[in-house]
Amino acid sequence: MSQTRSATRTNLSHEERTASEHRDPDLHTVILDKIKPVNDRIRILRLAIKGQQRGIPFLPGQWLDVHVPGLRKAGGFTITSTPRDAVATDSPFLELAIQDSPSNPPAAWLWKREEEILGQELSVRVGGSFVWPPPGVNLHQIKRVVFIAGGVGINPLISILSHIRQTDVSLDHLRCLYMTKIPRHNPKASDVLFLPRLLDIFHPSATGLDTEGKQERERLELFFTGGPEGPFSFQDGRFFLSEHDSLSPGKELPHCTYFSRIGDDDLRSAAGYSRKERQASLYYVCGPPNMTDHVVDFMRKQDGVDADRVLCEKWW
């Protein structure tokens, strides 16, 4: 969805900001089953689906209205798992990545101590239109899909990327540019939201491509800001954030790792170098306000890019 920012909008609740967005009619009961810290700002929550023989259907990229105990207004949080996870026959679940936000009452509740909230029942409703497959787009015309994320803007994109991998969507080119802040001291890849998952998605073994083929058809580009001052190394053409990183063997960072912000040259490359490429491309953008506005405007101005195929999610 594309919306205009304003001082008034920033003071609205999630439900008020998204009043015009599509919502499913059903309200579902889930149980806060697991909490996994990513770093000191983000935690991943697993919501077990209660009493649902068929799970909870949703499209990759959608969010949840989350009603927590004691609060009248729901919070809005993007689903980071895949539709397949939510209809698993044995233990269907939904996953959320929640940033510590004391000024956001639902987020603050979900950041309480684990012993206070684990096992609690929550009510959720699926909504949102920033989805895969995109409404009104003929996928037979799409050969390239490019994802551009900043910070927690990776949340809807990780669901879409994981779903594309799970369902073997046929594409000539898949690309992801992910910019995020890392600690200045002793940064670890496992502390970066969804980085291990992204490395799995883009690893050659996930597609059967050799390294050369992977570089041609799939590309993960990481842009790290805020560091590093701690140890990192560059070996055999690959970056490692720490000598004692918890990534498993073979999950080293890709060649396209930069300690800088995403620049216009990076966007120009991602857009595609030929008009034919750009005409067959679909772009998903999600990140902080200024970044999202700039990227969307830049991509839509590229020759051959269909403005309706540059999709963005704005949660503010």
Beta bridge partners of 32: 47
**pLDDT bucket at 55, cuts 50 / 70 / 90:** confident
Residue 225's Cβ-count burial label (10 Å; 0-12, 13-18, 19+) is middle
CA-nearest of 194, 213, 219, 206 to 250 is 206
Tell me if 223 sits within 8 A of 265, measured CB to CB. Answer: no
Helix (H, G, I), strand (E, B) or coil at 150: strand
Helix (H, G, I), strand (E, B) or coil at 316: coil
CA atoms within 13 A on the CB side of 239: 19
Computed over every residue of the chain, the mean pLDDT equals 86
Across the beta sheet with 93-99, the strand order is 75-78, 63-67, 121-127, 28-37, 42-49, 93-99
pLDDT in tens, 240-291: 444 444 444 455 566 688 888 999 999 999 999 999 999 999 999 999 999 9
pLDDT in tens, 180-229: 998 777 677 778 999 989 989 998 776 555 455 445 689 999 998 886 54
Element (H, E) at 16: helix 14-17
The predicted model scores a pTM of 0.89
